[in-house]
Amino acid sequence: MSKIYQNILKSFKANKKLFAVLIDPDKIALNTVSSFIKMVNDSIATHIFVGGSTVNEHETAHLVAEIKKTTSLPIILFPGDITQIAENADALLFLSLISGRNPDYLIGKQVSAVRKLKGTTLEIIPTGYILIENGKQTSVEKVTGTKPISRNNVEHIVNTAKAGEFLGMKLIYLEAGSGASEPITLNIISAVKQELTIPLIVGGGIKTKTQIETAYNAGADIVVVGTALEENESFFEQLKKESRI
């Protein structure tokens, strides 16, 4: 079993909550990375996710190289496309958009990625990716041409997540979308958590410490925050290492 996933699984079994900071290569200047990562290092962050819906080729690798200068946290790719595969990261969430019905994002992009991943040193973690409606159209919806699952259709969300586990996914990622109006609700997280035997990631629309706590209490094993930290760096003050969640 690979190291990063093994550590996630170890935390999952011990009910130790994890926190990932998502950095979009399109939304951060390289000359500001060092100061941003210093705040990440001082926070409760356990992982750094790197990726976005639309990122130019090579930008991800440049960003990962810059991040690695100032942190020892594991860097996990959260790619919107195969152009975001960067060999210098530590791991890759090998995403299948199981909430949608666009074959390109269910399996097509993954097949195209194989030529880049053959012989790679990246730890590849199969991940079922589920987009949930949050009140406005997200970049993921636009890029993939898929519709999110209605937040009111909890049974379908749960069944989709469980289907991902049955298919052999090692993680399930519930996503409200970048800059979502609202985070995924407690009842959705709780319902999905009750059915899974694998770690659950929750992200999108989380803007406060209380919302992080709510996600954890509902059953999220890893909470991901990106836009809120990009737009409001003072949020890091609430997430200092001594601030236990």
Residues 51-70: tens digit of each pLDDT: 998 888 899 999 999 999 99
- Residue 47 is encoded by which pair of tokens? 């992982």
Q: Which CATH number fits domain 3-239: 3.40.50.170, 3.20.20.140, 3.20.20.390, 3.30.70.1880?
A: 3.20.20.390
Q: Please give the average per-residue pLDDT across 188-216, as a whole number.
A: 97
Checking if the pLDDT of 244 tops 70, the result is no
Tokens (6 digits) for 184: 């995924």
d(CA 133, CA 151): 6
Contact 100, 106 (CB under 8 A): yes
Residue 210 has pLDDT above 90, yes or no: yes
Question: What mean pLDDT is reported for the chain?
Answer: 95
| Per-residue pLDDT tens digits for 142-156 | 999 999 999 999 999
In sequence order, which residues have a C-beta less than 8 Å from that of residue 203 and are 6 or more positions away? 20, 22, 173, 174, 175, 176, 223, 224, 225, 226
**Alpha-carbon gap, residue 52 to 227, rounded angstroms:** 11
Residues in contact with 135: Cβ distance below 8 Å, sequence separation at least 6, in sequence order? 180, 181, 182
Torsion sign across C-alpha atoms 208, 176, 74, 34: negative
Alpha-carbon gap, residue 224 to 226, rounded angstroms: 7
Residue type, 97: L
Confidence of residue 241 (pLDDT cuts 50, 70, 90): confident
Distance CA 201, CA 127 (A): 10
Span 100-120, pLDDT tens digits = 999 999 999 999 999 999 989
- In terms of DSSP bridges, do strands 222-225 and 18-23 run parallel, antiparallel, or are they unpaired? parallel
Assign 1 a pLDDT band (cuts: 50, 70, 90): very low
